[in-house]
Amino acid sequence: MTYEESFSAEPKYIEPEVKEARFDKSTVNLLKVDRDKLASSVAAYVANSGKDGTNGSDLDTARRLLGFALHLSPRNRDAVIANFQFKKGLPRKKIQPEYSPVTLAEVLQSRAKFLIKNGGDLNVSLAGYMLFVAVQVDSTNETAIYELEMYRKDIGPVNWSSLVGEGPKDKGSE
């Protein structure tokens, strides 16, 4: 590796692999309209976040959150557009969110609790992603933090590679 190559490697957004939407199914205990609202709100959070997207960690978080949104509602307009803008490195257009970040985290946390109570592999798996996203969106939501830690203890870590594919390798990604 030459001197120039070592400094020219800028972090790049890697599009999430969404071949088949994992949670856009009737077996998930969330109505399609609710999945679509959540997908729009998560996409709005990502698009509106003040992060410039030049940090590899920020891009990985955007990839995870947009992948989550696309698995909830693969044809969601806001999620598809935000994903395209990140992929092409375009400036992101602000999106009017359905929920504020604090409210979104509360909604995700309460829905996750509901899904865990209903049981079933798909519901429990979705609940783990929802708790993770809730903590990402509002890291002051102590209930979501607690629920995520209990999820990790009881069920295991949230496996993002199974949802968005292999991405950049970083420490502590789970």
- Whether 166 shows a pLDDT value over 80: the answer reads no
d(CA 170, CA 69): 22
Q: Contact at 8 Å (CB) between 118 and 29? A: yes
Nearest CA to 70 out of 129, 6, 149, 4 is that of 129
Match 């395209």 to its residue by tokens: 84
Residue-wise pLDDT for 80-93, tens only, equals 999 999 998 888 88
Nearest CA to 10 out of 78, 58, 68 is that of 58
- Percent residues over pLDDT 70 in the chain: 86
Q: What integer best gives the mean pLDDT of the chain?
A: 85
Amino acid 35: pLDDT: 93
d(CA 18, CA 20): 6
b/e per residue 16-55 (b: at least 16 CB within 10 A): bebeebbbbeeebbbeeeebbbbbbbbbbbbbbbeeebee
CA 28 to chain centre: 17
Q: Which residues contact 81 (CB under 8 A, 6 or more apart)?
A: 43, 47, 93
Residue-wise pLDDT for 7-23, tens only, equals 546 778 888 888 888 88
